[in-house]
Amino acid sequence: MAINLEVPRKHAGLVDQAHQLAMNMLRPISRTYDRAEHEYPKELDMLAALIDGVSATGATSGAGAGGVRRDKPSDASGAGVRNGANLASVLSIAEMCWGDTALLLSMPRQGLGNSAIASVATEEQLERYRGTWAAMAITEPGTGSDSANITTTAVRDGDEYVINGEKIYVTSGDRADSVVVWATLDKELGRAAIKSFLVRKDNPGLRVERLEHKLGIRASDTAAITFTDCRVPAEDLLGSPEIDVKSGFAGAMATFDNTRPMVAGMAVGCARASLDLTRDLLEQAGVTVDYDRPAQVQSAAAAKLLQLEADWEGARLLMMQAAWMADNRRPNSLEASMAKAKAGRVGSDVTLSCVELCGTLGFSEAELLEKWARDSKILDIFEGTQQIQQLIVARRLLGLSSSELR
């Protein structure tokens, strides 16, 4: 199957629109909402309405809306090759994060939980949940990167499940109107029993305990949520309620196969913003980057920028590959983790290096470079840390299970 890692012609208009929105709507309010932590950016309501209008025309399925669904594989001969919602999502997300990552994460009806719904929900559920804004609750006080060690429980009681537990670091946990909660149906059965549930915010038993104060993405709310005898209709268990020990954690992990390329897109966009501004500031200081000459014959600053751009290009290509594979119903767990690992590391390296290259301008609030450095760090942490992604990649390449390679 052929793959062309250029921006598809069918998505060019969407990418350009996303860039214009980032430049004209997000950049101007970026510093304002970074300083006003936890204050909801009201300007996003109008932007969300515009995106809903575009989605209604069928021009795009919205961020992450395609999910990772492999029930209809593409033709291996290449006749079925398609560039769909996943590729459109990561490309538009990268452009929006060129404007501001925290504001992108604050977009109504574009939560990480929406990607979980798209990946594992039934067709009936996809239709029923249309229009919801869903946060995603995975991490617990004693469970960070090892999602399979979840202790939040969901016990069947007639036509309902009763959920008990605590979740932390829930992005959009306060603002979203629903939360996709990962819980175990039976701790004895291990990771195979972990399922996800859509829980509405007004559901009795769900309580937002606090909002976190953070280093970066301060415009995005990050909440701690508790569930105390929280009753959820059985029909709100996403996907199949059956526990398949053979498939193990595969159902839940399909969500990560969708969201990790999206987070890679966030890192790619934020890093691109830093590179663009740094190049401009260096040129104003008399340092010109010549792309037709070897790095070793240019100034140290120009050589460093060239190295950073090369690393960035590698992250971008891995991001596009992982999303393209999802669009074509190809297993992309390895590629999703590679994209997330590469982009997360490159994002932090690029943004911090740009701060250094620009000296006092990079460190001060006169420019957004220091903010981008703060924002980018979380992109190497949530949805699986750098170390976890490398572990997943190693397991895939070596053909080892999680118990064989820890």
Annotated catalytic residues are 383
**What is the residue-wise DSSP string for 344-384?**
HHHHHHHHHHHHHHTHHHHHSTTSSHHHHHHHHHGGGTTTS
What's phi and psi for 40, nearest 5 deg? -70, 130
Alpha carbon distance 117, 200 (integer Å): 13
Alpha carbon distance 145, 142 (integer Å): 10
Angle at 102 between CA 100 and CA 104, to 5 degrees: 70
Beta-strand runs (E) in 222-364 = 222-233
Number of Cβ within 10 Å of residue 360's Cβ equals 8
285: Cβ contacts below 8 Å, ≥ 6 apart: none
Q: Write the single-letter amino acid at 330.
A: R
Alpha carbon distance 389, 153 (integer Å): 26
